[in-house]
Structure 1
Amino acid sequence: MSAIIERPKIRACLFDMDGLLINSEEIYTEVTNSVLKDHGKPMLPWSIKADLQGRPGTESAARFLAWSQLPYSPEELYGIFGERLKKRWHTTAPMPGAVELLTKLKGNKVPIALATSSYRGNYLLKTAHLGHMFGLFSEANTVLGDDARIPKGKGKPEPDIWLVALATLNANLPDHMEPIKPQECLVFEDGIPGVMGAKKAGCQVVWVPDPNILNVFEDKKDEIVGEWGEILPSLDAFDFAKYGL
């Protein structure tokens, strides 16, 4: 019988954005289905949606095209989506419990960083009207999908974006403090690729999936989050005491 390894104490929290902090994944789904409808195609299945979540834009477009067989290149499709999405990003809203969670972590002096696959242009459009929430992240601790520190082809589900986000926190620690280790980070994610990347980075994970995606992956949910993972229905269900926060 193998010994139970105790979880390291959490010293920092890292956050995805789309679908976790804001309802932008709903908007992505609506726009995707509008493009499919234009071509007489069925709506996007949740199993395919789960594979696209959190990936860099052109990679997500390439995977979508492999399934949908629409007559575009990934770059063309990304442009079509971009034009339709641009008209919707001003409507994004915080997900339940998101502002409260971030505010409490800041009040408790827990270091936080944002790690989103959204490129800077889209990030600004999605968040310009949500300064009360995204102002809680410093610019130095906001890592975007087109950050030069993330090698090309190394977006989620690779660990790079999470490790870069952690590095931004360690860069600002007082000299007397030990650097924060990946296993001392709690990653909050709604997408399976992001969860995979966080696990590869060695972090602990809180997975907050869309209920439709959780239904599709019900039989694999424990495997997805791993030994040091937890599944929550929403961010307002997070238990601070459980993690000593």
Structure 2
Amino acid sequence: MGTNFPLVRACIFDVDGTLLNSEDIYTKIYNNILREYGKPDYPWSIKATQQSRGTPGTLRLIEWAQLPLSVSDWKAKEKAHIDLFTKSKLLPGISTLLQTLKTQTSPTIKLALASSASRQSFSLKTSHISSISNIFPEAFCRIFGDDPDMTGCEKKPSPDIFLLALKRLNDMLVADGEPPLKAEECLVFEDSIAGVESARRANMRVIWVPHPGLAEVCRGREMDVLMGRTERDGERPDFSATGLEEEKQNLSRGKRIMSEDGWAEMRVSLENFPYEEYGIQLTF
């Protein structure tokens, strides 16, 4: 793949950990459950392999903790703590980024959501955040893990959810008489390793904004994540040990990092986003 990219015409956002601080809430819930069984707190070295992966990810969690629970048992225990999500907040830079993309771009950037979580879960986490419903009203393209069109599809790192978002966006564009989007004209915003790989498999560009805990366990392996080569054929990547010392020095935490092929970028946050570098023209 080359580095001469077309201008970005659409931005597709993951939700948990990308727009919202809900990953911290998930960690709190997981730790509450683990403590019921006398287990240690959930480390990011394991959570890195569980995020966004649906049932396979939950199985990894249960296996690591050696819990006498099925996936449905675990989900039931999670549900007992769901009220914590009513305290979800937007992450730094998100409000400005979304408002700018929706109201200050020419041509207007198309927006979509693509989350592995359920629609009900999304509503619980965002019903108290008016800016989310203003930016992504029901009429906008929203794809969730329980979307009927996701039946039979695979979770991230499969590209299915982003390809469905592309199809939905193109259905809307064609209906409005606009030319359809190409995958490479889409910019995905993700926090999880599986999400980065999913976007790349969909042939889309991707901005990776990992949680500080995830960034720490990925030190020295940032390029592997950005290139989408941490998990192949279902084999679980090992984040219990970080990369080579030379890589740690070259790819230190807090530095903006581009992938070798230019298709992916790692950022510490979405504050002060460089719109022009992605061909997104702003109006003032």
**TM-score bracket for the superposition, by shorter chain length:** over 0.9
Quote how far apart the aligned CAs of 1:179 are. Answer: 1.1
Match of 1:129 in 2: 128
Deviations 1:37-90 (A, max 9, x none): 12111111111111111222x333222111111111001101101111x22111
Unaligned 5+ runs, structure 1: none
Correspondence for 2:271 among 236, 241, 244: 236
**Greater helix content:** 1
Q: Contact 1:156/1:193 (CA < 8 Å) preserved in 2? A: yes
Task: Give the whole-Å Cα distance in 2 for the aligned partners of 1:177 and 1:197.
Answer: 26
Q: Contact 2:153/2:160 (CA < 8 Å) preserved in 1? A: no
Correspondence for 1:92 among 79, 83, 88: 88
Correspondence for 2:101 among 97, 105, 109: 105
Deviations 1:106-159 (A, max 9, x none): 111200100001112211111111122233113240111101211435011110
Matched, 1:120 2:119: yes
The aligned amino acid for 1:166 is L
Task: Give the whole-Å Cα distance in 2 for the aligned partners of 1:134 and 1:194.
Answer: 23
Matched, 1:190 2:191: yes
Secondary structure of 1:235's partner?
coil
Match of 1:70 in 2: 67
Q: CA RMSD in A?
A: 1.6
Match of 1:145 in 2: 145
Secondary structure of 2:15's partner?
coil
The aligned amino acid for 2:161 is I
Quote how far apart the aligned CAs of 1:197 are. Answer: 0.5
- The total of aligned residue pairs comes to 241
Matched, 1:39 2:74: no
Q: Contact 2:141/2:168 (CA < 8 Å) preserved in 1? A: yes
Q: Contact 1:232/1:238 (CA < 8 Å) preserved in 2? A: no
Secondary structure of 1:171's partner?
helix
* TM-score normalised over the length of structure 1: 0.93
* TM-score normalised over the length of structure 2: 0.81
Give the % identical residues.
Answer: 39
The aligned amino acid for 1:73 is S
Task: Give the whole-Å Cα distance in 2 for the aligned partners of 1:5 and 1:239.
Answer: 17
Secondary structure of 1:89's partner?
helix
